[in-house]
Amino acid sequence: MFGLLSGYFANDIAIDLGTANTLIYMQGKGIVLDEPSVVAIQQEGGPSGKKTILAVGAEAKKMLGRTPGSITAIRPMKDGVIADFTITEQMLKQFIKKVNPSRLFSSPPRIVICVPCGSTQVERRAIKESALGAGARKVELIEEPMAAAIGADLPVEEATGSMVVDIGGGTTEVGVISLGGIVYASSVRVGGDKFDESIINYIRRNYGMLIGETTAEEIKKRIGSAFPGAEVREMEVKGRNLAEGIPRSFTISSNEILEALTEPLNQIVSAVKQALEQTPPELGADIAEKGMVLTGGGALLRDLDRLLMEETGLPVIVAEDPLTCVVRGSGKALEKLDKGGVAIFTND
């Protein structure tokens, strides 16, 4: 009876409001939503007409780059923070409504939401406000490295150093955690989006072809790699030839993509090296023993762990189900919210 009641009233949720994907974790239910952070907006009756939301999530992502003049598909998050406040709020509202339909007597949910550790006060405030605007009763912010570490099942509360590298869509977060707190954290605005951008630029420069973001993402997922391997894979790509202005197809190899990704990958490597430099020696010794854990969608890039291993000389492991680490960690933090574990949350 008591459990039934608490299940009815407790509808607290954790959100990983990411640049690429938004994931929602619900207490007692697990991950209930995993959709791209994309909103399609329809403009009615000319430029001064009413704007309505046509689609959000996966449905809207299909429209990216394929919309007529009256529809715009927007990614309201950029570099891990809000680029368009109103659209983000609307998107959150739609997602929350999808997973938490309002019921009689049910109170608005408490929300734990992740923020990049490098985000400014203004950016954090914007995220908090948009969650409040989307109907939250109370909003707690948690820094992404902490959420990722909890989600990856690292011993965050023990007196031992754990290093986590969360490579998201917009940012890469490097954090060293010990005793339930962040000892060192840094954030670089390099992530999956930068990888896509680099691939687009590389193909334009070397092939004189223009490809879209969706195609670039597809190339990255299929043949992208961060370290030269024994096997060279190839893929046929279609794009528009810049000189002729006509769509053409061409073949690109994994080695070329590796070359294209060198620059953003180097930025990630230097962020990790910098974190290791800044880590106190005792914690550094723990990390040398255990290595670092990769989370986030970027961890799925082939041989990224190998690259970091070679560059740092430390063991690197990829967390299980790296895409959902952050939201699972936030969900665990949400459960600790009631048990007084507030140290893991950040103030504004």
Partner 1 sequence: MSEQEQNLRVHGPGAALKARREELGLDVDYVATQLKLSQRQIDSIESDRFDQLPGNTFARGFVRNYARMLQLDPAPIMADLESRLPHERTQAALPHVAEESSAFNLSSGSGSGGRWMVGLGFVVAFIGAVGAILWYLQQPASPELATSGAAASAVALETPPAIASDTAASDSAAATVASATTPAAPAALATAATPTPAPAATPTPKPAATPTPAPAVVASAPQGEGPVRLIVAEDSWVQITDANGTRLVGNLLKSGTDRSFAGTGPYRIKIGNAPGTKLYLHGQEVDLAPYIKNNVATLELK
Q: Which residues bind partner 1 (CB under 8 A)?
A: 9, 138, 150, 152-157, 160, 179-181, 286, 289-291, 293, 305, 309, 312-320, 336-344
- Residue 169, annotated as binding a ligand: yes
- Measured between its terminal Cα atoms, the distance across the chain in Å is 37
Say how far apart CA 55 and CA 60 lie, in whole Å: 5
| 93 is an annotated ligand-binding site residue | no
CB of 273 to partner 1, least distance (A): 15
171 assigned to a ligand binding site: yes
Q: Is 86 annotated as a binding residue?
A: no
Nearer to partner 1, 157 or 213 (CB): 157
Report whether 324 belongs to an annotated binding site.
no
290 among annotated binding-site residues: no
CB of 336 to partner 1, least distance (A): 6
CA geometry: angle 49, 50, 52, nearest 5 deg:
140
19 is in an annotated binding site: yes
Nearer to partner 1 (CB atom), residue 76 or residue 329 = 329
Cα–Cα distances in Å, from 211 out to 229, 237, 262?
A: 26, 8, 19
**Is 323 labeled as ligand-binding?**
no
Residue 82 or 152 having the CB closest to partner 1: 152
- Smallest distance from partner 1 to CB 119, Å: 20
State yes or no: 213 annotated in a binding site. Answer: no
Nearer to partner 1, 60 or 337 (CB): 337
Distance of closest approach, residue 268 Cβ to partner 1, in angstroms: 17
Nearest-angstrom CA–CA distance, 27 and 14: 8
Between 218 and 311, name the residue whose CB sits nearer to partner 1. 311
| Residue closer to partner 1, measured from CB, 207 or 345 | 345
Query: Cβ of residue 220: shortest distance to partner 1, in angstroms?
Result: 20
Q: Which is nearer to partner 1, 87 or 287 (CB)?
A: 287
Q: What is the dihedral of CA 196, 300, 272, 19, to 10 degrees?
A: 50
Whole-number minimum distance, CB 223 to partner 1, in Å? Answer: 18
302/188 Cα distance (integer angstroms): 20
Least Å distance, CB 179 to partner 1, is 6
Binding site residues for ATP, as ranges? 19-21, 169-171, 217-220, 297-300
Binding site residues, as ranges? 19-21, 169-171, 217-220, 297-300
